[in-house]
Structure 1
């Protein structure tokens, strides 16, 4: 297993089974963890956030709504 704390778009789409455009829409609705902008042309997601979402997407969404994210 890769121990990198960040995941690329390709890795996130492979884990989630969701394409990039749908991920973007889900993020905006608070249904998916927010991306991290590393530089103007580079984005990533925190591995623990994606793993938590994959384990229980609905719980992740509720947590984001409660935190006001």
Structure 2
């Protein structure tokens, strides 16, 4: 950091800016989850069982004991 530069802390950051960043992160998360769901439906319809099971393992779901 250069001499004389000022670093803003989280306490000094406006609440609206923190809220916007959190909102964007939630939106991106929901979007990615929706895309993964669509890919899973497509794999099921195309009878790609192995790829579908791999996708389920990536998601963390367990369909077999």
Higher relative contact order (CA 8 A, sep 6+): 1
The structure whose residues are more often strand, as a share, is 1
The structure whose residues are more often helix, as a share, is 2
TM-score under structure 1 length normalisation: 0.25
